[in-house]
Each structure stands twice: as structure tokens, then as C-alpha cells.
Amino acid sequence: MMIMKNYSIWEDLNNNLTCKSISQDMDVDVLIVGGGITGISVLINLMNSKLKTILIEKNKCGLATTSKSTAKITYLQEKIYMNIRNLINEDTASFYLDSQRYATNLLKNLIEKNEIDCDLKKVDSYLFTDLDSNKEKLEEEYKFLKNNKVNVEKVTSVSFDKNCKLALKVSDTYVFHPLKYINYWKNKYKDLIYENSKLTKINKVKDYYECLVNGRIIKTKYVVIASHYPYFLLPFLLPIKSHIETSYIGAKKEDKTQNISAINIDKPTKSLRYHHNYLIYLYNSFKSANIKSVKDNFEELNKIDKFQYMWSNNDIITNDYLPFIGRIKDNLFIATGYNTWGMTNGTLAGEIIKDLILEKENKYIKLFDPNREINLSKIIRFPSDLYSNIKAICKSTKNNVNNNLVINKIIKGQKVLVYKDSKGIEHIVLNKCPHMKCGIVFNEKELIWECLCHGSRFDIDGKCINGPSNLDITFK
């Protein structure tokens, strides 16, 4: 019988190296918080400076959002250019395209120059539709790309989707293995990386920061928050400027591989690529606050095919479709909100933040400024984001037991949820997300607890895997 693995295809990779943890007070110039593609990219970029830099990671590097992505390196990003053009203007859309083409090459060159063994492959990228009604939108995207001197082709038949009505194709894009990439850098800079080291507090003192990590104080001039969800610092980023989106992914072995990467512009979202002869297939993306049943969403994926791996992933979608990369205030920086395009944007963030710290020019600083004004009146989805958030909070506090594997209990006066695993071991967690006190649901496929209001995820015993929560729901 085929055994389904409930984690991403990248996470099958073994990396026995665990870096040391923070166990004493330290004095550095730059503290980077988070060991995904963003934090690692900032670290790489600062290696040629004289600044004493360290990176802390609360778990193991790469194992959060980065290792659950489909890891395409591409600038064909759904309808993003038309979205930016319609919301802001044509020049901003062109500038974002320029940044993504630049970042695609930046990452590819970094891999080639350092001869990183991470399965980098040049592929044709497709943007496609199965609907006659969406052909016009693709035509618009085509015109925009042509006007911006992209070598793009229109095709009406593709090898990966027999219902395709129209597709755009470009050839200067890539795919890779994100965890092999992260592990290369982790091994190279292991002396500067601290794992199992969690930031819990930042205090500004005169012209430096005191950061509390594992109960120790790291004194630093610059802090870079590359933790994906910087909400414990900026609670109003969500829902005012962004929302969380969850997607469901499967991987299955096929007879042969194809040199392609593709994404549609229809609903439900379909996105695919190959890794050797495994097809990686993303089906359906939802605003997390609108998810009715995690189990049903995996069932939908199951109906498409029998996958050997199945997993889900969250990313932050910004209301103006542009990432937040740069200075928040003083010497505090963030990089997040990649709208599911973090391989390019996370890599670019490394360069932008390095230039900000070293006071060098970088043409993308203004475009991604996290303090930029967002014209909320133009954002149609803003009221609907707010509504679904409030609805999700109310729903989660009323009915938080989502399946019969979990029971609701009160132990020592505290509301808890109890899941008994196949060995009869009870896993007990607090039934409240520390972020905004929403109820928790159980994701029986991946054996994790989730807050569907805002996307926080916790392991089976309540340790926080993904924010916005920065706290655990462990019951002691």
C-alpha cells in the first residue's frame, strides 16, 4: 500500500547539522531573525561588509514557509502586473516586473557562481487559462509583457493541461530545491547561525536594541525581522494591509519529467512544476479566514490524483500586491508580504536591506517601502478582508472542535483540546491562539493545530511553527 507523506517533498532531505543555540549574552552589529530564504539572503549579502552579523532561527533553518513552497523562480506571477497597474499605475507594474526579472537572475547567478547543488533547472514558464472568459485578461498581460520587452509567446496547446484555452510562455525562468539551497548556506555560515533560538522581545535603548533571545540579551545596532510574520511587532499589518492565504499541494511520481513551470489565472488556482520525475501540483488557494474545512480541502486534492506527498502552506498577500521590504523605523527592518513569490522577493530583500544598512543606493527601496501609503479606498477587497476576519474570529470561538478525533476539555480551569494519537498518547494544547484569542482547529492530515482566523500554526504539542503568533499553545 502506498504511504502518503504529510510533509513537503523538500523535507525528505536530511540535514543532520543543527547549529548551536544562543546561550549567552552577545554584542553584535546586525541581528537577523529567521532562517528562511529571506534571512539567509540578508546574511549572504552582509558577508562582505565589516559588520558583525548573526542569524537566529527559532526552529531549524528553512523548515517553515520556504520548504513548503513550490520553489519556482519566475517573474510570471499570475495576474500580478495587471493587478498593480489597475490599482496603482502602469509604471509601478513595469517597475515590479523589472524587479522580478532582476531577482530571477540574481538567484540563478548566485546558485551558479557558488556551484550550489540545489537542482537548479532552466524551464519554460506558462501562465494559462482554461476559460474563454479569461482569454482577454491573458491578452492584456501579453501586451503588457511585450511592451516591457519580454520575450513572450502565445500558445493554444500545452503538454500539461488538455483544457487550456490560451497560455503565455517565457523561457528564461527556473526551478530549484529550496532546502538544498538553504542548507548550502547554513553549512557555509554555520558559525554565524543559531538555531532553536527564539526572539521574544525587542527594546530600543539609546541608539541600539536589546533583543531577548532564549532569555539572553543580544545587543545590536541593526535588527532585521525576516520571520515571515512580523506581526508581534506590527499588529496592525493584518488585516489593514494584508491577509494570509493557504494553498494545498501534492507531489506524485510520474513516468517522465517535463521542463515546465505553470500557473493559471482562473479559480481554483492550479500551479505545477516537476522535480525530477515528481509532479508537484498546487490546487486551490483560499484566504485563510474563509477556510471551511481543512480536511475537505485535502479531499479536493485527493480527488485529482493519488499523491505520495501532501501538504499545505501559508503566505502573506498584501493589499497592493507589492512586498514590504525595508526600514520600519530607526534601524529596524522587515521583509515579508511576498504574495506567494518569495524565492525572487526574498532573494532581492537580502540585497535591499544590505544596501539600506550600508547606506548605499538601491533603485527598489521606494517601491517596497513598508511605510508606503496604501490607498485603501481603491482596494475593493479591504472591507471583505475585514468582514471575513471578524466572521472567522466569531466562528472560531463558538465552534472550535472540527472533527471527532479531538475532544474539548477543561483541565486545571483551562480550556484545552485533546488529540489521542494511534499509539494512545494524548496531545493536549490550549484552545486559544495567543495572537488574537481565536479558537484552534486540528489539521489531521499534517498533524498540526491551526488558527484559521489569521494562519498561525502549531505542532502536535503546541509549539508555534508559523505566526502571526510568536507564542506556543503548549499545555503544562
Ligand X SMILES: Cc1cc2nc3c(=O)[nH]c(=O)nc-3n(C[C@H](O)[C@H](O)[C@H](O)COP(=O)(O)OP(=O)(O)OC[C@H]3O[C@@H](n4cnc5c(N)ncnc54)[C@H](O)[C@@H]3O)c2cc1C
The nearer residue to ligand X, 165 or 463, going by C-beta atoms, is: 463
Q: How far is the CB of 86 from ligand X (least distance, A)?
A: 22
Q: How far is the CB of 337 from ligand X (least distance, A)?
A: 9
The nearer residue to ligand X, 185 or 400, going by C-beta atoms, is: 185
Q: How many angstroms separate the Cα of 214 from the Cα of each of 23, 36, 62, 205, 322? A: 7, 19, 20, 19, 33
Q: How many angstroms separate the Cα of 453 from the Cα of each of 17, 205, 245, 259, 313? A: 35, 35, 11, 38, 15
The 3-state DSSP class for residue 309 equals: strand
The nearer residue to ligand X, 38 or 402, going by C-beta atoms, is: 38
Angle (CA) 52-233-97 rounded to 5° is: 75
**What residues line the site for ligand X (CB under 6 A)?**
33-39, 56-59, 64-66, 69-72, 198-199, 226-228, 247, 249, 282, 313-315, 336, 338, 340-344, 346, 470
Q: How far is the CB of 402 from ligand X (least distance, A)?
A: 21
CB 451 within 8 A of CB 396: yes
CB 241 within 8 A of CB 328: no
Q: How far is the CB of 57 from ligand X (least distance, A)?
A: 5
CB 29 within 8 A of CB 220: yes
Q: How far is the CB of 16 from ligand X (least distance, A)?
A: 18
Question: What residues form DSSP beta bridges with 185?
Answer: none
Q: How far is the CB of 244 from ligand X (least distance, A)?
A: 9
The nearer residue to ligand X, 123 or 357, going by C-beta atoms, is: 123
The nearer residue to ligand X, 389 or 469, going by C-beta atoms, is: 469
The 3-state DSSP class for residue 463 equals: coil
The nearer residue to ligand X, 74 or 400, going by C-beta atoms, is: 74
DSSP state of 338: -
Pairing of strands 457-458, 448-450: antiparallel
Q: How far is the CB of 70 from ligand X (least distance, A)?
A: 4
Neighbours of 398 (CB within 10 A): 8
Q: How far is the CB of 272 from ligand X (least distance, A)?
A: 10
HSE of 300 in the Cβ direction (CA atoms, 13 Å)?
19
The nearer residue to ligand X, 418 or 447, going by C-beta atoms, is: 447
Q: Which residues contact 372 (CB under 8 A, 6 or more apart)?
A: 320, 322, 366
Pairing of strands 448-450, 441-443: antiparallel
The nearer residue to ligand X, 239 or 250, going by C-beta atoms, is: 250
The nearer residue to ligand X, 406 or 473, going by C-beta atoms, is: 473
For every residue of 62-108, DSSP letters joined together read: TTTTGGGS--EE-S--TTHHHHHHHHT-HHHHHHHHHHHHHHHHHHH
Pairing of strands 324-329, 309-318: unpaired
The nearer residue to ligand X, 385 or 428, going by C-beta atoms, is: 385
Task: Give the three cell numbers for residue 146.
Answer: 511585450
Q: How far is the CB of 100 from ligand X (least distance, A)?
A: 9
Angle (CA) 245-328-331 rounded to 5° is: 135
Q: How far is the CB of 310 from ligand X (least distance, A)?
A: 12
